[in-house]
Amino acid sequence: MTLLSKFVPLLIFFAVLTVAAFVGYVVYTIATDVADKTSKKMEKKNISFGKEGMKIGVKEVKNENYVDQTQSLLVKAWNYSKWPAYKSRLWNKENEPPQKAQARTP
């Protein structure tokens, strides 16, 4: 056998190994890029990942803003609870004329 025929399988092995290493490197760089972008997006939402696990931060809400929001919700609920044209069948009957009983048809 010639010297070249002995090295052909070795050259093919190195070529396959080089292609596999290149594909692995590309996959690794894409995975780290996606992880970095995801981490940055989650940090904008006050969520961070660390060695201890996931940490969720709470956005700071000033007391004045909290009171304003709560008060506006209570005022809206109060305003929507009053129905000007609504008359209950159970109370506020003093202004209504008495109704006569109707005969039932068989």
- pTM for this predicted structure: 0.45
Q: Say how far apart CA 76 and CA 68 lie, in whole Å.
A: 12
Q: Say how far apart CA 85 and CA 37 lie, in whole Å.
A: 56
Q: How would residue 103 be classed by pLDDT, with cut points 50, 70 and 90? A: low
Render pLDDT for 46-83 as a digit per residue (tens, 0 to 9).
Answer: 777 777 887 777 777 788 888 888 888 888 887 777 66
Q: Provide the token pair at 90.
A: 């159970």
Render pLDDT for 8-60 as a digit per residue (tens, 0 to 9).
Answer: 999 999 999 999 999 999 999 999 999 899 888 888 887 777 778 877 777 77
Task: Map 89-100 to HEC letters.
Answer: CCCCCCCCCCCC
53 dihedral zone (left: phi>0; alpha: psi -120 to 50; beta): left
- Domain assignments of the chain as residue spans, ordered by start: 8-79
Q: Provide the token pair at 65.
A: 């803003």
Query: Given this model, what pLDDT does residue 30 score?
Result: 97
Q: Provide the token pair at 27.
A: 């996959």
